[in-house]
Amino acid sequence: MVILGGEVVDDPLMLAAATTLVAWATTELAHGARSAVSGLTEFLRHRFHHEQAAEQTLELALRHPTADTVQRLAALLEQETLRDPAFDAELRERFAKVQAIVAANQGDVTNTVSGDVSGSVVQARDVHGGISFGGRSVP
């Protein structure tokens, strides 16, 4: 018998099934975000590869994430974004992609529009029926 959050689980098979399901869901989330996170990480490594102290700050936070190492990385990123608006824009764009993938895997609605857009855009999760933008009706 196992007690979880006040609930008693007597059947070891049910505990194993639930544990496996949660592990698989976590693995799927990680797999979906892996490419975006890898791209962001490589972007940062490339950015800081000529600055030894910055590179060490990044690598330490990635390899040994503690409150202190993450705080140092956040300070480094903030300093760099203030220094270089192009870096700021690129970092924000790449991080938004990571957030979108994570949110999508959690069942949230995530819509992203980027680049030059002309005309109307619809951002929606589930649409049942037609969509109109006002004005003339198109058959």
Highest-scoring range by mean pLDDT, 52-56, 70-74, 135-139 = 52-56
pLDDT per position as a tens digit, 74-123: 989 999 999 999 999 998 888 888 777 767 655 545 556 666 666 677 76
Token digits for 16?
Answer: 């194993």
| Single pTM value for the model | 0.55
Domain ranges of the chain: 9-105
Helix, strand and coil content of the chain, in percent to the nearest 5, comes to 65, 5, 35
CA dist., res. 69 & res. 39, Å (int): 21
Kindly tell me if the per-residue pLDDT of 2 is higher than 60.
no
Q: Please say whether the dihedral angle defined by the alpha carbons of residues 51, 53, 58 and 60, taken in this order, is positive or negative.
A: positive
Cβ pair 97, 43 in contact under 8 A:
no
pLDDT band at 54 (very low <50, low <70, confident <90, very high): very high
Task: Please state, in angstroms and as integers, the Cα–Cα distance from residue 125 to each residue in 106, 110, 111, 112, 128, following that order.
Answer: 13, 8, 8, 12, 10
Q: What is the C-alpha separation between 18 and 120, in angstroms, rounded?
A: 44
| Residue found under tokens 């959050």 | 5
Structure tokens at 4: 């979880």
Per-residue pLDDT reduced to its tens digit, 3-51: 555 566 565 666 666 666 666 665 666 666 777 778 888 999 999 999 9
